[in-house]
Every structure is written in structure tokens, then in C-alpha cells.
Amino acid sequence: MATILARGTIFLMNYLSRRAAALTCAVLMSVAPAAIADPAPRSEAPNTDSCPNATQPPQAEDTSEALQPGQVAPTPPPVVANEFGSCGVTAAAGFVEPENTASAWMVFDLDSGDVIATKDPHGRYRPASIIKVLLALVALQELDLSRTYVATAEDQNQEGSAVGIREGLTYTNEQLMLGLLLNSGNDAAHAIATQLGGDAATLEKVRAKARELGAVDTYVASYNGLDAPGMMTSARDLAVFYKAAWQNPTFARMVATEKVTFPDKDPGTTFEVWNDNGLFMNDENGIGGKTGYTDDAHHTFVGAKTVGTRRLAAVVLDTTIDKGRAWEQAQKLIDASSVATGSIGNLGQAQTTTVAPTPLPQPSAPSSRSHSGLYFAVAGLLAVCAVVMAYFSGRRKE
């Protein structure tokens, strides 16, 4: 799919006029919302004042979290005291919440750790692919980016989003990391995990990294973000993870990369992999981030931009596209925070346990229907359109 989209992008840019490309994209965008919108459209953000997700995420909508025979439900992390005081919206003076449909979000300073505004900061939600930041941090710590790796059939055939890795081709770890962060490739994630000791060892390393960074609401059930029993995190924990990540110059460089060249199946040929982060690609002050989506997590997003001398970031969890794409909602939250004064707390504040953990219940009769494949296909087409129109308009410089 990634190869097809990349080639389609090049074809459009080389052979279509701007007008023809715009018309093509307009048709795709007119039908895409219906194809990839969440099953239950929202007119507003869910009310979380009563802390409905203090102990576990919302009910699963498909069978991805169903326990296998003999499998024991993971025990969720204990509930901690909410240092921000509310599961509703809490914000610094001057912040006016923009329209959004997210269950939880947080806007924070990447360098100081100051939190400017948040909603349900410790509520437990599924992260989807934005949890890949933990895998990235482990890989940056352990792998030589210049070292090469020969892809396997198992890498190529991973479930979910893919950057387009092919069995038998050689990649540098730099390319694999860019495929992981720019295009959310589960194939790249598996190739990285193989070098970290395999799936089980990598999952343990990712969990250890979360603990090292100070996670209090997170249980990592898969290193690539696919839904699995017990998967959960919070806006607060993700803010902690991404604050740490952006302190790493290599991570910061990678998520601020517009495109990278990947080897194609035919010897001597290549294709381009573009950054799928809409905030980075459409906001001149964008500095990168990460996208996410699964049937149960819905849309998730992390994005950052420079605001004067500050680097502000937003985490968005469990949102829909009814009031704009996830990146647009994050952009509005950051812009609203840019005029606020002061902060409501800091990511470095100590955490205190208030409720002992209990095992997660088995999901009751979830639907077996999944539309992840459709989402990725349509989202990929929209990404092509975004790239084509950006190319013609010259919104971002190379």
C-alpha cells in the first residue's frame, strides 16, 4: 500500500495540473469522512467530569481485546491522585477551549514541562500508534542507526499500517526509524523489535521505559499500538513520554523530516515516504509528532509547534473527525494555549496512589467487525492529496 501511494503521489505531481489534482482530491475528500468516521459521530466532546475512565478505557468495540483461552486479564495500574484537580477541563487564565470531540487532551511545554490546559489528564484510554514513542526511545538508546538490516517475510506481513518494507531488501536502522515515526509502519516496528531481541523482549523493554519515565496510568500491551488486552495510557503519561522524546535531538530531527527515500522491490528503484503528521505538514511552525488510529482507540494524536520562544505540544485521545481532523483539534488547542498566562501544574509533580488496582473485566460481546483496513486505505489517499496540494502550493520549503 505504501509503495502504491508513494508512486501515485509522484504520478500526480509530475503529470497532473494543479487544477486536475485539486479536483481529484476534492472528490476523495468528499467521500472520505463517511468512510473513516467513527461509528458513533459526536457533536461535542464527551463529558468526563465524573471520571468515567479513572480505572480503565471505554468498552471495546471489536474483538481485539478478547482474552485467549488460558490468558489472564492484565491488572491495570493503581489510580493516582489527580494533581490537576478535575477530570473535566482545567486551564490557565486566558485559555478558551476550542471546539473538539476528544475525551482527553493535554497541552504542555516540551522544555519546562509546564501544563497549560488539560481534560481528563489521568483518564485511561487506548493510545493506538502514538505509543510507538516508547519503542522509538528504546531503539534510539540501543541500536546503531547506521547499521543495516535485511527485512524478513514476517516484517513485511505485519498487521496494520505499513511503510512498505519488503522481504530480502536491506534497510538502515535510520530508515526503519523514519518509517516508524513518519508513516507509523508496523513492519518497521517489527524489524526494529527483531533487533532488540524479539517481540517479547521488546515489549518488556518498552514497559520498562514507560516505568523509567514515570508512567502512572500506562499498561503497554503491544509495542506497535495495536489494541490488545489491558492496553491503556493517559494524556498525562503520553505528555511525559513525548517531553522526554523531544529532548532527544535525533527524535526531534526525525519527526521534523518531511520525506525520506526507501528502496523499492526492483533493484535500483526507490519510493518516497512522506510524513503523515498533518500539523507538521500544514502549519509553518509545526515541529512534528505522531498519529494514531484503531477501531477501539479511535483517533489519537500528538503534535507540537513553536510559539514564540516556546515549544508547545498537545496530546489528543479518543477523538473523532466530526469537528476536524485530530491534528486540527491539536493545533487549535495549542493556539488557544499560546495566549494563556501561567500554568496549572508541571509534568514533574509527584504522584500518589489512591485506589488499589483490580483485574480488568473480560469485554462483553464485542462486535467482530473491524474497519481498520478501510481507514488506512482512505487515510492514505487523503495523505497523498495533502502532499500533492502542498507540492503545488509550496506551503512548506524543502
Active-site option among 64, 103, 129, 222: 129
Q: Which residues fall within 8 angstroms of residue 201, CB to CB, at 6 or more apart?
A: none
Host H or E run for residue 142: helix 132-142
Task: Return d(Cα 291, Cα 273) in angstroms, integer.
Answer: 15
Task: Return d(Cα 202, Cα 206) in angstroms, integer.
Answer: 6
Identify whether 132 is a catalytic site residue: yes
Which grid cell is 14?
A: 509530475
Distance between first and last Cα of the chain: 25
Q: Are strands 89-91 and 114-119 parallel, antiparallel or unpaired?
A: antiparallel
Would you list the DSSP string of 90-137?
Answer: EE-BT--PPS---SEEEEEETTT-EEEEEESTT--B--GGGGHHHHHH
Identify whether 332 is a catalytic site residue: no
Task: Return d(Cα 98, Cα 344) in angstroms, integer.
Answer: 18
Active-site option among 132, 209, 243, 305: 132
Confirm if 366 and 60 have CB atoms less than 8 A apart. Answer: yes
Identify whether 184 is a catalytic site residue: yes
3-state DSSP call for residue 319?
A: strand
Task: Return d(Cα 357, Cα 372) in angstroms, integer.
Answer: 31
332 is in an annotated binding site: no
Active-site option among 64, 103, 161, 184: 184
Feature table: binding site for substrate:
290
Feature table: binding site:
290
User: Which residues does the annotation mark as catalytic?
Assistant: 129, 132, 184
